[in-house]
Structure 1
Amino acid sequence: MNRRRRPPRSPSRRKPEISFQNNHADLIERQLEEDGHRTWGFVIYRTTYGNDDEWQEFLARLRYRMEQHFEWCNGLDVLGLFTLLVIEDPEQLDGASTATVRQRFREWRETAPQLEQREGDEDGREIGPGLSPRYRFAIQVDADSLRSVVHDAPAPPDEDATKRGWVKLIDASWEPATDERFLNAFDPIEGVTEKDVGWMKIPYKNVDEYYVRTRDRNYWPTSYLRPPTIMGWPYTD
């Protein structure tokens, strides 16, 4: 017997057959409205400079996967508000650690909201970072992550059902633990032996998904997975 599929309780206006909560374009649009912002997207820090062709391939694959997903969401209008900002500095960032990227990102975000969004709203108030993940998290692409995207993951236009291509998502608010109970519990990663090392691996093809998720301040502490585990289903190495 064929059962009629029930419509979602809160249907997406862009794609009524799915819920609003499952449409990243709808969610990002609401985020922009709540923060009074006009652009979105993680800032990318390039920390590998050995092969420009591979770097361009990485950017092309990232753009393709995002366009593919937002077309499915009927949200190309929201994708049009996306700003791909890549920070490149071969002298200072080649081989840089996540700690170095975090510090650079913290410095950048001090003035970025005003410069990127707008100088002030109609009432003369300044525009701050709000809860925008753009100013709370950054992406780092190092030699290992670049290799994973360009050489390990399926190339577009083939479908990518894997999570072999990954990037580093860095939490700008992270600080090393001071409580000895949380120290020396794990093997060191960049010298950090606590569970939360301040960054995690996310599939490059799902950066918009993690942009949506990380707006919730509870997401990181409740969902964090320590490297080398890559976020996303299945939740195993």
Structure 2
Amino acid sequence: MSDQTRPSSPDSYNGFFYHKSWPMPWWGKTLSGTFLKSSRQWSRGWPWGYFIYRTAYGCDEDWNQALAKLNCYVHCTIRYYENNPEPAEIVWEGYKNVIIDDKELLEGASPTKVRQLFQDWTKRHPKYNHAGTPRSTFCLMIDDHALQAIPASPEPCLETGNWIIEKVGYVILIDRYFPDKGYKHEPYNVGWVRLKISGVWMFSYSFDTMEFESQYPGIGRPGLIPCYDGDWTWVEDVNGQKVTDVDSSGDEEEDDEDDDDLESGHGVHDIYKYLREGGHI
């Protein structure tokens, strides 16, 4: 598999997913008609991948292991869901991430700060702001908790698809278009989820056919964490246990405002701050 651990700064070059250090892509002697037809959906989204923001700086070896495990899962899930090995390898070779590694700027940063940095970059580089593509709409973040969870994930097995039943690590998927003031009708919607590393490819592949907002799990009280595997969403508590009772225990005030007025002037409940102050991340 190609090296995906290259550190980069998003303003150090103008290529945006075309870094000079990347190897030339592998192209088979022939391309299947099925792949050529399905690849049209990618349009400007090729090569594909994400800005990955590093906010944990405890150990470089752990960081490299986490990226290697993430890439191993992406490669394996591409092969698992694509029956034809040739298109699968082409898709894999088109997987190019940009690693944002700046300790002074990012150490301990929250998803809110990372979102703002990503938003600022896309505003400064409008020609790369391709609306409707995953790489321009979402970024990934790896914090201390994710940095522990990813390497602890089992090695993915192509024959068994073991990630379907086993517990695997996650990256934080951040929606660039989430409004700063949040949504009035969803005070616990913070515009990010814990995306299982086994779901990165599935999310990227199905992005054109789903609305992220509609996938966001409903949360009505503090201390609950939104999770996603590229197909299903659910909610976990701070101990990693799935929770079904996600509503507030108190009486909620009725909202008589127009449904069109989605942005709240009251801010959102900062789940990340809650987790950090409670020592859960």
TM-score (norm 1): 0.69
Task: State the distance in 2 between where 1:235 and 1:104 align.
Answer: 28
The equivalent position to 1:13 in structure 2, one of 19, 34, 41, is 34
The equivalent position to 1:63 in structure 2, one of 60, 71, 79, is 71
Which runs of no fewer than 5 residues in structure 1 stay unpaired? 1-11, 15-24, 116-127, 184-193
Task: State the distance in 2 between where 1:230 and 1:163 align.
Answer: 13
Q: Hey, what does 1:206 align to over in structure 2?
A: 199
Task: State the distance in 1 between where 2:111 and 2:215 align.
Answer: 20
Give the letter aligned to residue 224 of structure 1: Y
Task: State the distance in 2 between where 1:26 and 1:110 align.
Answer: 32
Give the 5 Å matches for 1:127-138.
129-138=130-139
CA separation of 1:198 and 1:26: change in aligned 2, threshold 3 A: farther
SS in 1 for 2:163: coil
The equivalent position to 2:216 in structure 1, one of 221, 224, 232, is 224
> Is the CA contact (8 Å cut-off) linking 2:182 and 2:190 kept in structure 1?
no
Q: Hey, what does 1:5 align to over in structure 2?
A: none
> Is the CA contact (8 Å cut-off) linking 1:203 and 1:231 kept in structure 2?
yes
Aligned-residue offset at 1:69:
2.2
Q: Where do 4+ consecutive residues of structure 1 move more than 4 Å? A: none
Counting matched residue pairs gives 187
Q: Hey, what does 1:167 align to over in structure 2?
A: 171
- The sequence identity of aligned pairs, in percent, is 26
CA separation of 1:71 and 1:164: change in aligned 2, threshold 3 A: closer
The equivalent position to 1:77 in structure 2, one of 81, 90, 95, is 90
Aligned-residue offset at 1:32:
2.4
Give the letter aligned to residue 141 of structure 2: Q
Which runs of no fewer than 5 residues in structure 2 stay unpaired? 1-32, 236-241, 243-281
Residue deviations 1:120-177 (CA, integer Å, cap 9, x gap)? xxxxxxxx514111111111110011111122x2135594333431111101111123
Task: State the distance in 2 between where 1:154 and 1:223 align.
Answer: 26
Task: State the distance in 2 between where 1:231 and 1:38 align.
Answer: 24
Q: Hey, what does 1:31 align to over in structure 2?
A: 41
Task: State the distance in 2 between where 1:206 and 1:56 align.
Answer: 20
> Is the CA contact (8 Å cut-off) linking 2:215 and 2:233 kept in structure 1?
no
Aligned-residue offset at 1:44:
0.7
Give the 5 Å matches for 1:142-161.
142-151=143-152, 153-156=153-156, 159-161=162-164
Aligned-residue offset at 1:108:
1.9
Task: State the distance in 2 between where 1:133 and 1:57 align.
Answer: 24
SS in 2 for 1:214: helix
Give the letter aligned to residue 55 of structure 1: W
Task: State the distance in 1 between where 2:46 and 2:205 align.
Answer: 16
Q: Hey, what does 1:177 align to over in structure 2?
A: 182
